[in-house]
Structure 1
Amino acid sequence: MDLFLGNTYLWTKLLHTLFVIAWMATVLYLPRILVNIAEAQGEPAVVARLGLMGQRLYRFGHVMLGFVF
């Protein structure tokens, strides 16, 4: 039983670490997408593509934050 609990703890710790890394990547990259949107004014296709990327990244970040806790 102790071996099972020890392994479960290690797997939980591993998953937590991976989710924190994924969430932090989102937090650090989302502002870059917003800057690119601001710089691409006058190019509607680029703004639309970056807006979609930003929305997807924002949702992904929220999912990762949910898994962190």
Structure 2
Amino acid sequence: MLDGTKLYDLDISGASFAKACGGPCTEGCVTLARIGDDAWALGDSKQPAAEPLRFTSEELAVAGIDPVRFGLSV
């Protein structure tokens, strides 16, 4: 399992982000990409230039974020 501080050492330049919307996508959507075996990057479609936040799988689960909702396998 990755230490939370090591998540930001991972290269995400080739990450493929998937989008999930809670409402109309004109209001912005959350984007999610797997960036490692136990690592995820969470972004904001309204601010694509902003650095995505990084989480472990356990942290995503605690936050109630399910990668399946984004069409991603766990």
Structure 1 and Structure 2 fold alike (TM over 0.5): no
TM-score by structure 1 length?
A: 0.23
- Please identify which structure carries the higher strand content: 2
TM-score by structure 2 length?
A: 0.22
- Please identify which structure carries the higher helix content: 1
